[in-house]
Structure 1
């Protein structure tokens, strides 16, 4: 079920008021009702929406004209004319609400806001207060209209993702471009993406290079240069030239498609606060009806003379102000706003419940490679006793015969240098390479390789923390490359921001202890553990949980999936992270920036604060006005303005989330 096909705000109200159970199956949400009733809009399309709004504004105009004639112009209309005008206005505004109330009553569902509003307005008509009864219905519908507008507005950041996937793609078949649906493209086929077009499927760059706008996936406007054989993801936009991409995943399996499915599922996962309000509503609504009935009938036992119409009016006021609109919409709207704000900041939160969970964590445990570092090895320093250009050329020529990431770092460092094809190349497992270049034997690898061939080298090399590639030329030590994984630009900021939120940091890695400890010191991380297997990471996180710590684990590799599943909040790096890790995680950082972890925590806290403010506001005002109504001080006019006013204030407060800057 797509986001734009989900039930309206009125249906969500109905679920809360009536306590209808909802289940989730294969990412779809199903109400346990025989039909999905749409109050003001939805299944009938845009025409139905416009018709409903036209009828509502027409009824408001009729009421407005009547009030002006009666209270300002002091014109006394005949009773039949007043009743006729009010009934027309009532029908235009409330026909769907009344129809829903009777339909639900026929199924034994009496305790919902549709029935509540219908009884309150019918009661007003019974005692002759036609204009007040119509006003109750009109302002109730106006409140619902504003709620729907706010809900749709808060969804916009999320729903915008649905527009990322193009409907057609240009596939090259027999060297001829053909237009087809992305679902029809097979793995291994090449697609053509022209300037300004969106990439429809995941693949690898077949052209020499391309420049892409990745903002839809990462939230970052900075263009990204992608070279030949590098990964291109669906949703990216080619900005400068036509490029060819070889498809490596079906349309339904692309990373973007899975992200969109997660986004759609997110709105179905309710936060504990929402679930609590839903449970309270099952008790609250019947109690409100009972109290209203007692207000009407109980005074007959001890008040003399007893005026039924007077106490009926008080009961109707009590019913109107008791309507739980502000709670049942503003709370989920607050969480929708939080999910939307996160989406705008490149953070995919898979459910409202995770916005709550992230606010309670006190420890962030992180992987190193690919999470706090770029996962790309780079030559940091070259030391040699011979001509450096010759040294780099000979080492890179030999290393070009290896697929190891460290070897590729040396070749990349050589750049455009013309490499020499070595002879008699041999790979010594766990040590490195040897071969003949320019007729001279060359060794490139670790210090164990030089030990194997009895080549002397400076003893201080053993104390170097970084990865090194030692090179010997003509059986003599010639120099070495210092190679290290690069720390991400915002990694230090990420750690600092988390500490500012009172959250401690721990780093776990399979890399050697010395390297892990150095990265931890450089970033200011509280504790670090190196040389770990995946099961060791699980064991450490479990120990922390046993100590009462509330853990968020951040990782990107497939080996991180088990520990992400174990953590209270699992966070995955989404741009380069493994599919298993992204599927397992509760929160996905789409642009791979670790500083967004603290942003996720801040968004969760903002959302929770707004939701609690709305709950407090709604209960405080409603309790006060219900007491005034029962005592005969408040009228139906005051009740309806208080109800709609509280709902609108709560909506505006929730809507503030969308405008926040993180």
Structure 2
């Protein structure tokens, strides 16, 4: 089972990593800490009860004191407390902010004392008290870390550096470093809060209530989670739609932007599907539930966004590994810098060497990387979600930037999947009789072609007239209608049953019909092209996709025509579902053989049908069309496009490219500045003031840069 917790007052990204590591060392526990969202997810088969949660919270607080675990689920015997403070009602200036504001004039007054007071003892006492006032939280945290044997982190480094400054008589500088460190941490926390607020705004699509009509005709508000499939609810003007459903009364303009990213409202009427999280704009609707809350569109989107951090990008994993070895190495170098120079260089005193080592410690904190890089990827996922593109993890976001070959399904991807009969050719039956027989056999199928035939017949169908219908994968149907044996499908099916039919050269889909092994005629069915397919494929090529390949079960003439119309490089038709997988395996093998050491070339598959699920799972990255796509396809995919528009794929690639670019900017910027200042500190060309800028200043700038991923303009 999966259990989620709000991690109240989690402000340390490095601590978040340590918490995740410690909890994962427990038996039967798999923990994921989402620092960007301040959330803990635990997978366990244990019975979760208050004592168990308290034991987890104790481990958390050993690493970062004051962090509370607030269960985001109902638990027997646990009274869930209200959050002490939420991001929306945080005070502009908190306790730490007031402490900083009070310390600034105290620090400036201390400078005046250095020029007017001759008593060294009084001067030391004044700065020591000021230091203890501003640094009390840092010192307290350091002491707790030492007790828990987890001392090698930024608070310890800052404590040693400032106490060391006191030891060599640099009292004002010691207070200044602690003051500016506190200022930097305060601004850093505000930046992290801003990021969390932006991310949580995505969660605002979750509906709070559903209006249900009572027996007396009045409407009452109920929890959407309590509604079952088939029940009815009313959506008033301005309401969020609580559950996915089918409209049974009314018509209205509906804003789907929170789900699909499309800004233009859509007019919906009776029998249309309406998605949870949408907003009703113009008139009241009555809707029948087709998906319960747990399986609704809005719940799927929220789960995708919340769980995206569990699949970390290679860049994120590198930073995690890097930070684990970086800090101990730098601390070791600082010790050597404090001890060795006086032995080898004339003119360098122990005091000089110690002062340089203290700067080295301050500069070495890896916070800028530990916070900003994961936040960049989470911001990119959030930006994509805002446009109706659900990316299931940072690893898929990064892989998307490496796609060079795009394999596409046809129906529902390139075309609308809205089939319509173009021509009817019969030998013996009238057109009406022909469609009547064909429609009754196809009534057992939900394939788009079958639905188009039923629509063309246009009359009610009697299921009692139909028996023993069997689907022949990739070829058609056979069954009994009115006591007669019917066979319908493509030419391969007719050839398989030794029924002679004409061979047609046409781009349309040909559906033949035989009755009692005698050929009766055929219908030509055409699928409608999506208006944005051609422009989307052109843009994909411009973004670096070197090859596009269309795989389809339709005849070769059809897929060739479509490929020419939209600009696809290769097209292969007449493929059964298993043959699509074989073709995809061949493509993947060829890519690997052509460049076995080149991990930069990836193969993506995009489709929407249930038969596309294996290919979506097998490709380097699977992309599903979500609005009309099957649940199996959405489950198997790594990326889900909610509005079925191929034009969203170039947009997703652009977001991925910018996100990776920002993450790389943060890495190069943070490491570059730190290396520069470490060199300056080593040779005595920096000061504690410069060191604190190299640490906290860089972190703030990197975090602010990460926020750009959340606000990517089209």
Aligned residue in 2 for 1:464:
506
Q: Write out aligned runs for 1:359-438 (5 A).
A: 359-378=401-420, 403=443, 405-406=448-449, 409=452
CA drift at 1:524: 0.8
Normalised to the residue count of structure 2, the TM-score between the two structures is 0.77
Matched with 1:188 is 230
Distance in 2 (CA, whole Å) between partners of 1:308 and 1:613 is 38
Q: Please, which of 137, 141, 147 is the counterpart of residue 106 of structure 1?
A: 147
1:142 aligns with 2:183: yes
CA 189–286 in structure 1, closer or farther in 2 if over 3 Å, else same: same
Q: Is the 8 A contact 2:506 2:558 kept in 1?
A: no
Residue 623 (str. 1) matches residue 688 (str. 2): no
Give me the whole-angstrom Cα distance separating, in 2, the residues matched to 1:460 and 1:114. 82
Distance across 1 between alignment mates of 2:453 and 2:364: 72
Residues 431 and 557 from structure 1, CA distance in 2 versus in 1: closer, same or farther, beyond 3 angstroms? closer
Larger deviation, residues 263-272 vs 647-656: 647-656
Does residue 86 of structure 2 align to residue 34 of structure 1? no
Q: Which segment drifts farther, 136-145 or 217-226?
A: 136-145
1:283 corresponds in structure 2 to 325
Residues 177-576 of structure 1 mapped to structure 2, 5 A cutoff: 177-207=219-249, 209-302=251-344, 307-378=349-420, 403=443, 405-406=448-449, 409=452, 462-467=504-509, 483-503=525-545, 504-547=547-590, 548=592, 550-576=602-628
| 1:207 CA displacement | 1.7
Map residues 85-96 of structure 1 onto 2, 5 A cutoff. 86-87=127-128, 89-96=130-137
User: Which region of structure 1 is more displaced relative to structure 2, 304-313 or 105-114?
Assistant: 304-313
Question: In structure 1, how many angstroms separate the alpha carbons of the residues matched to 2:198 and 2:636?
Answer: 23
d(CA) in 2 for partners of 1:272, 1:33: 31
Q: What is the CA–CA distance in structure 2 between the aligned matches of 1:647 and 1:316, rounded to whole Å?
A: 19
Which of 675, 682, 690 is equivalent to 1:638? 690
Give the TM-score, by structure 1 length. Answer: 0.83
Residues 421, 40 of structure 1: alpha-carbon distance in 2 compared, 3 angstrom cutoff: closer
List gaps (5 residues or longer) in structure 1. Answer: 385-390, 436-444, 452-458, 472-478
Mapped partners of 1:316, 1:124: distance in 2: 8
CA displacement 1:305-337 (0-9 Å, x = unmatched): 874433222211111111112211121222122
CA contact (8 A) 1:55 1:93 kept: no
In structure 2, list runs of 5 or more residues that go unmatched. 33-39, 43-55, 70-82, 470-476, 483-487, 495-500, 514-520, 593-600
Give the Å deviation of 1:653: 2.8
Distance 2:512 2:345 in 1: 101
Distance across 2 between alignment mates of 1:55 and 1:157: 24
Counterpart Cα distance in 2 of 1:73 and 1:235 = 62
Q: Residue 305 of structure 2 contacts residue 382 of structure 2 at CA under 8 Å; is this kept in 1? A: no
Q: Deviations over 1:504-553 (max 9, x none)?
A: 11111222322222212211111122222222222211111111262111
Contact 2:237 2:284 in 1 (8 A): yes
Greater Cα shift, 222-231 or 46-55: 46-55
User: Which residue is equivalent to 1:387?
Assistant: none
Residues 261/569 of structure 1: CA separation in 2 closer, same or farther (3 Å cut): same
Q: Distance in 1 between matches of 2:134 and 2:261?
A: 42
Deviation sequence 1:322-365 (CA, Å, 0-9, x none) = 11122111212221222122122221111111111111121111
- C-alpha distance in 1 between matches for 2:711 and 2:503: 55
Change (3 A) 1:534 1:7: farther
Deviations 1:251-271 (A, max 9, x none): 112232122112111123321
Task: Tell whether the 8 Å contact from 1:552 to 1:569 is kept in structure 2 after alignment.
Answer: yes
Give the Å deviation of 1:15.
Answer: 4.6
**Contact 1:155–1:340 (CA<8 Å) still a contact in 2?**
no
8 Å contact kept, 2:436–2:457:
no
d(CA) in 1 for partners of 2:20 and 2:342?
33
Aligned residues: 632
> 2:75 aligns to what?
none
Task: Tell me how far apart the structure 1 counterparts of residues 360 and 144 of structure 2 sit (CA, whole Å).
Answer: 24
* Bigger relative CO (Cα 8 Å, ≥ 6 apart): 1
Tell me, yes or no, if the aligned pair for 2:111 and 2:172 is still in contact at 8 Å.
no
- Decide whether aligned partners of structure 1 residues 632 and 157 sit closer, same or farther in structure 2, where only a CA change above 3 A counts: closer
Q: Compared with structure 1, are the counterparts of its residues 99 and 295 closer, same or farther at alpha carbon in structure 2 (3 Å cutoff)?
A: same
Q: Aligned-residue CA RMSD in angstroms? A: 4.1
TM-fit CA distance, 1:185: 1.3
Q: Does the CA contact (< 8 Å) of 2:603 and 2:619 recur in 1?
A: yes
Cα separation, 2, equivalents of 1:420 and 1:562: 36
Give the whole-Å Cα distance in 2 for the aligned partners of 1:55 and 1:232. Answer: 47
Match of 2:167 in 1: 126
Q: Secondary structure at the match of 1:201?
A: coil
Question: Residue 158 of structure 2 contacts residue 178 of structure 2 at CA under 8 Å; is this kept in 1?
Answer: yes
3-state DSSP of counterpart to 1:220:
coil
Instruction: Check 1:94–1:493 CA distance in 2 against 1; reply closer, same or farther (3 A cut).
Output: farther
Q: In the superposition, relative to structure 1, how do residues 158 and 572 fare at CA in structure 2: closer, same or farther (>3 Å)?
A: farther
Distance 2:21 2:481 in 1: 72
- For residues 341 and 26 of structure 1, the distance between their equivalents in structure 2, rounded to whole angstroms, comes to 25
Bigger mean CA offset, 601-610 vs 225-234: 225-234
Q: Distance in 2 between matches of 1:353 and 1:426?
A: 49
Question: Which residue does the alignment assign to 1:454?
Answer: none
Query: 1:638 and 1:618, CA in 2 relative to 1: closer, same or farther beyond 3 A?
Result: same
Q: 1:585-607 deviations in whole A, cap 9, x for unaligned?
A: 11111222112212222222212
Distance in 2 of aligned mates of 1:640 and 1:497:
45
Q: Which digits, 9 at most, give the CA deviation of each residue in 1:600-652, with x for residues without a partner?
A: 22222212222222212222221221122122221111111222232233233
Distance 1:217 1:100, change over 3 A: same
Distance 1:279 1:446, change over 3 A: closer
Structure 2 vs 1, CA of residues 590 and 284 (structure 1 numbering), >3 Å: closer, same or farther?
Answer: same
Q: Secondary structure at the match of 1:133?
A: helix
The one of 694, 704, 709 aligned to 1:652: 704
Distance 2:86 2:292 in 1: 37
Deviates more, 1:368-377 or 1:149-158: 149-158
Q: Which residue of structure 1 aligns with residue 6 of structure 2?
A: 5
Report Cα offsets for 1:410-444 as digits up to 9, x if no partner: 776799xxx7999x999998699999xxxxxxxxx
Tell me how far apart the structure 1 counterparts of residues 355 and 374 of structure 2 sit (CA, whole Å): 32
Instruction: After TM superposition, give the deviation of residue 138 of structure 1 in Å.
Output: 2.8
- Structure 1 pair 510/121, CA: closer, same or farther in 2 (3 Å)? same
Taking a change above 3 Å as real, the CA distance of residues 205 and 101 of structure 1, as seen in their structure-2 partners, is: same
Residues 341, 657 of structure 1: 8 Å contact kept: yes
SS of the residue aligned with 1:192? Answer: strand
Matched residue SS, 1:353: helix
